[in-house]
Amino acid sequence: MDEKSQIQALEGTQPWLPLKRGRRRSLASVKELVAAIQAYLHEYNRAPKRFVWSESADMILAKSERCEAALVTFI
């Protein structure tokens, strides 16, 4: 897989990453990708936002158990 394909794959799976500069210009190399990620993390860590759970721990664990059961049944 070439660098451009790797960058496009990462852009598709991690939409929170600021990989595109503007709407028309994408990153051209892995070096630019690493620099963009590092710049994003540096900026984010200056004023991080606390993660707030939207569900209770019991609901999250119950869903996890349902998913595991469905996966075991599927395989």
Q: Both tokens of residue 5?
A: 């394909």
Predicted model pTM: 0.42
Q: Are 33 and 7 in contact (CB under 8 A)?
A: yes
Residue closest to 7 by CA, chosen among 33, 31, 36: 33
Instruction: Give the amino acid at 11.
Output: E
| d(C-alpha 63, C-alpha 71), whole Å | 12
Q: Which domain holds residue 56?
A: 3-74
Other CB atoms within 10 Å distance of the CB of residue 19? 19
Top-confidence residue, 43 or 66: 66
In this predicted structure, the answer to whether residue 69 has a pLDDT above a threshold of 70 is: yes
pLDDT in tens, 4-54: 677 667 666 666 665 554 444 566 777 887 887 888 888 888 988 888 888
* Eight-class DSSP state of 24: T
Count how many domains the chain has. 1
